[in-house]
Amino acid sequence: MIAVCGSAAENARLNALAEEVGRRIALAGVTLVCGGRGGVMTAACRGAMQAGGLTVGILPGDEPRAANPFVQVAIATGAGHARNVMIVQSAAAVIAIGGEYGTLSEIAIARKCGRRVIGLESWELGNEADGIPRILPAHTPAEAVALALQHT
Amino acid sequence: MIAVCGSAAENARLNALAEEVGRRIALAGVTLVCGGRGGVMTAACRGAMQAGGLTVGILPGDEPRAANPFVQVAIATGAGHARNVMIVQSAAAVIAIGGEYGTLSEIAIARKCGRRVIGLESWELGNEADGIPRILPAHTPAEAVALALQHT
Amino acid sequence: MIAVCGSAAENARLNALAEEVGRRIALAGVTLVCGGRGGVMTAACRGAMQAGGLTVGILPGDEPRAANPFVQVAIATGAGHARNVMIVQSAAAVIAIGGEYGTLSEIAIARKCGRRVIGLESWELGNEADGIPRILPAHTPAEAVALALQHT
Amino acid sequence: MIAVCGSAAENARLNALAEEVGRRIALAGVTLVCGGRGGVMTAACRGAMQAGGLTVGILPGDEPRAANPFVQVAIATGAGHARNVMIVQSAAAVIAIGGEYGTLSEIAIARKCGRRVIGLESWELGNEADGIPRILPAHTPAEAVALALQHT
C-alpha cells in the first residue's frame, strides 16, 4: 500500500494534486491508504476509486460510517491522532501533500519507522550531513507516485 | 464488514468452521476483517479469499508483512492487544469462533460498542433478565453468517 | 500498581465496595490505576486519595481535565475503549468490581496478558479443567486487596 | 504535567540539559511525563526524582518493568510509536530536547493538539506569517521550564 497524507481542510490546489496522486496509485495497481476523512484524503480516494483502485481509510474515531464516500475499507481505530502512526506503518511509502502539523507528524513517524517519504508542496526536512534522512521532494503527482513505487 | 474472531492457536475443528464462515462471508459480497494472524484468522481469510472475497487483517504489530498470506489489506496498528478493539469497531457484526480470553475480550468490547455478536462454539454470556444482552449462539457456519448479515 | 475496574454507572453498593478497595490499596502503599472516570473509578480513587495514596487515571479521551477529581496523574490516551488494555497492562493485578461488558473486556485482556484478576461481585469465568485460568472470587474489599497484593 | 521529549540515544550534552530540565520541573512542584525509556528520558526522570518530584513514563511496550529506574508511575500502553501521542496529550506543555524524527513527531502532534512546545537545541519550525505557530526556542533549561510553566 502507499499512504497519502495531508490536511482535512479544503484547498482546491492541494486537492487537485491529491486526486491525481490517487489516480496514479490506482493505475499502478496499488492500494491507497489514508486517514479516511476530508480535504486531501477525500480527493486522493476519489481519484483512486474513479480509476478502479482500492481505497483504505484509517479513521480516528470509532464509527466506520465517518469515512468519506470514496473509502472502500474503513478501519475505525478510535485511536484519535494516534491513527496517523497506523497509516504510515501500514504503507511501504508515504506521499505527503501540503499539510500543517498533522501531516508533519505523519512524515516524522514515517521516517522514524524507516518508511520512504515523498513531499509534494510539503515540509522540507532532513539533512544528510547530520545523518537525518531527507524527505524526497517531488514536483508533480506523477513524480511523487513514481518515487513512492520505486522501492515497494 | 463482518469480523471473525478466534484463537491464533491451531485447532483443526475450529479452523474448519472458520474457513466455511469466511467462504460464506465472501459469497455474500461482504468484506471480512480479522486480526490477520494464524489459527482461526488464517482459516477464515483462506475461505474468503478462495471464494473471491476481500480480506482485511488488523495486526498487533508494526509490520504489514506479519499478516497471514490470505490477508489482502494489512493494517499495522502497532497497538498490541488494543488492536482487538479496532477489529470489532470496524465491523457491523462479529462472529466469535471458539476462543479463550483473547476472543472473550473481543466479544466484550463488541457488546460494549453495541455490535451484534454471534458465537460458534464460543463463550455463552449475557442474561436478558439482568439487562446484559446475550451473545447469539449459532450451530453452523451458515447460521452464524446469516445471523451476522441480518442487520448489516 | 493495582488496577480497579468497574462500571462508570453510579451504583451505591458497588461504589462503597470500590471506595474501601481504594482505601486499602493506598494503605498498603501501592499506587491505584483505573480508567479515571465515574462510578466505581471515582469511588476507588476517592478512597485511595483520602487514605493518602497515589491515583492514576488512564482516560479514553485526549483531554486530561476529563479525569475525576480524585485522579492525581491523568493520562490522556485518546485511545477510546483501547485504553482498557493499557490499564490492565500497567498493573500487576486487577480487581474487577461488578461491571458489565466494559469490565469484562478488562478482565479478559488481563487474563490474556497473564495478570492476576480478582472479582468482587463480578463475572465468574474460567475453568481449570479446560485450562482456562479462573477469576479469583473475593467476598470483601479486604480479601480482594489481599489477593491482589499476594503476587505483586 | 509537563512532558519532556527527546531521543533514547545517549548524548552526554543533551542528557545534561535534560537532567537540569527535570530538576527544575520537580522544584516547580509539577509532575514530569515522558516516554519512560533511555537517553533524554532517563536523564530528565533522574533530575526530577533526585529533586523529590513525581515522574511518569508512558511506555511503548506492554510491560511496566521496561521503564527506566527513575520512573515512578509506568504506563504500559503497548501502543508502540503511538504512545508519543499520549505523552503530549497528557501534558500542558512539551519541552523537546535535541531529537531526531521521533521527537519531531511529538512536537508535531503537540502543536496539532494545541499544546505549547518549547525547543532546547531542537527542531526550529513554524512561521507565524503562514499561520503555523512556532516552536518556542529556549537557550537554557531554566528558560525552557519557565516558558513551559507560563501557561500551565
Question: pLDDT tens across B74-124, in order?
Answer: 999 999 999 999 999 999 999 999 978 889 999 999 998 989 999 999 887
Per-residue model confidence (pLDDT) at position D3: 98
Per-residue model confidence (pLDDT) at position B134: 74
Please write the tens of the pLDDT for every residue from D97-114.
997 888 999 999 999 898
| Other CB atoms within 10 A of residue D137 CB | 15
**In whole angstroms, what separates CA D54 from the centre of its chain?**
14
The whole-angstrom separation of Cα D108 and Cα D117 is 9
* Nearest beta carbon to residue D81 from set A107, A112, A132: A112
Tally C-beta pairs within 8 A across A and B. 59
**Would the pLDDT of D123 be above 60?**
yes
Q: DSSP letter string over A40-62?
A: HHHHHHHHHHHTT--EEEEESSS
Torsion, Cα of B66, B67, B69, B70 (10° steps): 180
Q: Verify whether the Cβ–Cβ distance C56 to D64 is below 8 Å.
A: no
Which domains occur in chain B, in start order?
A: 2-149 (3.40.50.450)
Q: Partners of A136 in the beta sheet?
A: A118
Give the whole-number percent of chain C exceeding pLDDT 70. 93
Cα angle, residue A85 at apex, residues A43 and A145 outer, rounded to 5°: 45
Closest-approach residue (CA) in chain A for B31: A73
Check: CB of residue A105 under 8 Å from CB of residue A120.
no
| Other CB atoms within 10 A of residue C114 CB | 8
Please write the tens of the pLDDT for every residue from D57-95.
999 999 999 999 999 999 999 999 999 999 999 999 999
For β-strands C55-59 and C32-34, DSSP reports them as parallel
What is the sign, positive or negative, of the torsion defined by CA atoms of A33, A38, A43, A45? Answer: positive
Per-residue model confidence (pLDDT) at position A9: 92
**Would the pLDDT of C131 be above 90?**
no
**Would the pLDDT of D125 be above 80?**
no
Q: Verify whether the Cβ–Cβ distance C63 to D31 is below 8 Å.
A: no
The whole-angstrom separation of Cα C151 and Cα C107 is 17
**In whole angstroms, what separates CA C83 from the centre of its chain?**
13
- The CA distances from residue B107 to A137, C115, C123, C132, in Å, are 46, 19, 14, 16
The contact set of B with A (CB < 8 A) is: 1, 31, 54, 56, 58, 62-64, 73-79, 85-86, 89-90, 92, 113
Per-residue model confidence (pLDDT) at position A100: 83
**Would the pLDDT of A152 be above 60?**
no
Within 8 A of A76 by CB-CB distance, chain B residues are 86, 89-90
Check: CB of residue C76 under 8 Å from CB of residue D90.
yes
State pTM to two decimals: 0.94
pLDDT band at A99 (very low <50, low <70, confident <90, very high): confident
Please write the tens of the pLDDT for every residue from B8-54.
999 999 999 999 999 999 999 999 999 999 999 999 999 999 999 99
Per-residue model confidence (pLDDT) at position A3: 98
Please write the tens of the pLDDT for every residue from A24-40.
999 999 999 999 999 99
Per-residue model confidence (pLDDT) at position D40: 97
Query: Could you give the ipTM of this predicted complex?
Result: 0.93
The contact set of C with B (CB < 8 A) is: 79-82, 84-86, 89, 100-102, 104-105, 107-109, 111-113, 125, 132
Per-residue model confidence (pLDDT) at position D102: 87
* Cβ contacts of C41-46, under 8 Å, gap ≥ 24: C41/C4, C41/C6, C41/C8, C41/C68, C42/C15, C42/C68, C42/C69, C42/C70, C43/C14, C43/C15, C43/C16, C43/C18, C43/C19, C44/C4, C44/C6, C44/C18, C44/C19, C44/C97, C45/C70, C45/C71, C46/C19, C46/C22, C46/C70
pLDDT band at C57 (very low <50, low <70, confident <90, very high): very high
Q: What is the mean pLDDT of chain B?
A: 93
Within 8 A of C86 by CB-CB distance, chain D residues are 75-79
**Would the pLDDT of D152 be above 60?**
no
Q: Which residue type occupies C3? A: A
What is the sign, positive or negative, of the torsion defined by CA atoms of C13, C18, C24, C27? Answer: negative
**Would the pLDDT of B132 be above 80?**
no
Mutation target to probe the A interface, by most A beta carbons within 10 A, among D37, D88, D104, D123 is D104
Contacting subunits of C (3+ beta carbon pairs below 8 A)? A, B, D
